[in-house]
A and B are shown apart, each in its own frame.
Chain A
């Protein structure tokens, strides 16, 4: 199991968190997503090590921005 936290810019409310969670959960192997709006952070738990490119693509699909890699 892998747990990584990413910084995501632009989330402001529960709906933003929901969109990001929904998109990240589409990635194969992702088992849990936890969003902290106040800290601009998203913690992703997965069964495998995720490629940063697929995480970035999922987040950008929602319109938000991945600020940095863990």
Chain B
């Protein structure tokens, strides 16, 4: 049985990233240990054309811990097919110096145990201005007919 079987893909994506970030920021474990819990050793992520393997992912994760980034994933829509998920979500992030929002179109592949194997992401930094969020979310919800899934606490973790 695959980790995605019978699971709402919106909940899975929100839970995956939220749980990963919580372990990263609040846990006392080595960053590499946390990365490996959520990603297979051959993980490849391509974000806006930039390729990240496991080593680069670990290096990229260290700043999140250092700055105690607070993050929330708002999943607008997601569909699953076998071991793959396609999702569109907005990452809301904040640390002591800045806050922002990034809209992400995500295409990922996951292992049987729920760890991420591969991801392609196209991202867009969204200006934080009063009214923007309401406008964007209203458009999405009008299309889907469902409220967006938001997660800021512990979510679905890979087993």
A-side interface residues toward B, CB under 8 Å?
Answer: 9-16, 18-19, 37-38, 61-65
Contacts and interface: CB of A to CB of B under 8 A. Distances in A.
B97 interface: yes
Most buried by A among B51, B56, B64: B56
Given A37-B50, A63-B67, A65-B59, 9 more contacts: A10-B62, A11-B60, A13-B48, A13-B123, A14-B123, A15-B102, A18-B125, A61-B97, A63-B62
Contact of A15 (B67, B97, B123): B123
Nearest to B95: A63
Contact of A38 (B50, B66, B98, B102): B50
A12 B60 contact: yes
Contacts of B52: 12
Nearest to A18: B125
B111 interface: no
A63 B48 contact: no
Contacts of B95: 63
B47 A12 contact: yes
Contacts of A12: 45, 47, 50, 52, 56-57, 60
A61 B97 CA distance: 9
B63 interface: yes
Given A15-B102, A15-B125, A10 B50 contact: no
Nearest to B60: A12
Interface in B36-66: 45, 47-48, 50-52, 56-57, 59-60, 62-64, 66
Nearest to B45: A12
Interface string B15-47: 000000000000000000000000000000101
Contact of B48 (A14, A19, A64): A14
Nearest to B68: A63
